[in-house]
Amino acid sequence: MWDKIIYVFIIGITTYVLKQLFSETPNYVKFQSKFLIFYIWTSIIGLISIPFSVFNPRNVKNILVPTQIIKNVTKIIEVKWHLRNGKVLAEDRGAVIVSNHQSSIDILGLFNIWHVAGKMTAVARKEIFYVWPFGLAAYLAGVVFIDRNNSKDAYKQLKITSEVMVKNKVKIWLFPEGTRNKDFTNLLPFKKGAFNIAVAAQVPIIPVVFSPYYFINRKKYIFNKGHAVIQCLDPIPTIGLTMEDVPELITKVRNLMEMTYKELSKEVLSSLPPNYPLATTD
C-alpha cells in the first residue's frame, strides 16, 4: 500500500513541477529553477575540477578552465553579459577589484569575465566553503574564505592574501557592500576591508559596476531573459596613501560607482516597455 502512495505522490509532484515550468504565468517553481540550474551546473563542474586542482592547490589559475565551462549556463538562463573597458582587468598587476552586489548570479557574471582578468581570486564568507563540492573546488582554486564574526582571523587571512597579491600580481575581487543589495536605486554603504588591503599593499583599486538586474523580480517570481552591463572604471591609485586616507578613498570610490550605476540604470531601463514588471524596494 505504501509503495502505491509514494508512487502517486511522486507522480503528483512531478506533474505539478512540469506544469509550473511550462506555464506562461510567472511562478515560484519557474523562478527558482533558473537559480537551481546555475547552482547544480556549478557544483558539477566544481566536482570534476577537484582532482585536477589537488596537484597544485590554492593556485588561482586552477579556476580558469572551470569558469570557461560554467559560464555556458548563461545561455540556458538567458542572461547576456556585456563587459566594457575590460582592458583595465587584463593588465598584469596586483589590484583590488570592488563591485556592487545584487544577487548570487553576480558570480555568473564574474565567471563570464574571469578569463579577461587572468590571475584573479575572490574573497567570500566562510559559510560558502561548506557548500560542497563548490566550496572545496573554490578553495583549491585560491578563493579566500573569511569569518566575518572573527575580525582577527579575517584580518590575518586578508594580510596573507595581500602579500600573495603583490608578489604574484594577483587581483582580488571583493564586494564592499558586504551583502546583497535589494535596493534598485542606490548602493549600500561600503565596508573598509577592501580599501584597507589596497592601501596597505599600495595597489590600485579597480571599481566594477554591474547594471541593475531589471529582469529579476523576486516578489513576483519573475526571471526573464535579459542583459547586464559590467562596466570597469579606470584604476584608482593608492600609492602614497595611508590608513588615515581610507575614509576619503571609500567616499570617492563609492560616489564614482553609484554615479555609474545610475547611468547604467537609465541606459538599460530606457529600452524597456512602460509596463515592464520592475522590482521595487516597497
Query: What is the spatial distance between Cα 112 and Cα 83, in angstroms, rounded to a whole number?
Result: 9
Q: Considering the domain boundaries, does residue 277 fall inside one?
A: no
Is residue 282 pLDDT above 60, yes or no?
no
pLDDT per position as a tens digit, 106-142: 999 999 999 999 889 888 888 888 888 888 898 898 8
Q: What percent of the chain has pLDDT over 70?
A: 93
Q: Is 232 helix (H, G, I), strand (E, B) or coil?
A: strand
Q: Considering the domain boundaries, does residue 47 fall inside one?
A: yes
Structure confidence at residue 24 (pLDDT): 82
End-to-end CA distance of the chain: 50
pLDDT per position as a tens digit, 7-23: 777 888 888 777 888 88
Structure confidence at residue 13 (pLDDT): 85
Is residue 221 pLDDT above 80, yes or no?
yes
Q: Considering the domain boundaries, does residue 280 fall inside one?
A: no
Q: Note down the domain range covering 23.
A: 2-270
Q: Report how many domains make up the chain.
A: 1
Confirm if 76 and 152 have CB atoms less than 8 A apart.
no
Structure confidence at residue 263 (pLDDT): 96
Q: Considering the domain boundaries, does residue 28 fall inside one?
A: yes
Is residue 154 pLDDT above 70, yes or no?
no
Residue 111: which CATH number? 3.40.1130
Q: Considering the domain boundaries, does residue 275 fall inside one?
A: no
Contacts of 10 (CB under 8 A, 6+ apart): none
Average pLDDT of the residues of the chain: 88
Specify which residues 208 forms β-bridges with.
99, 232
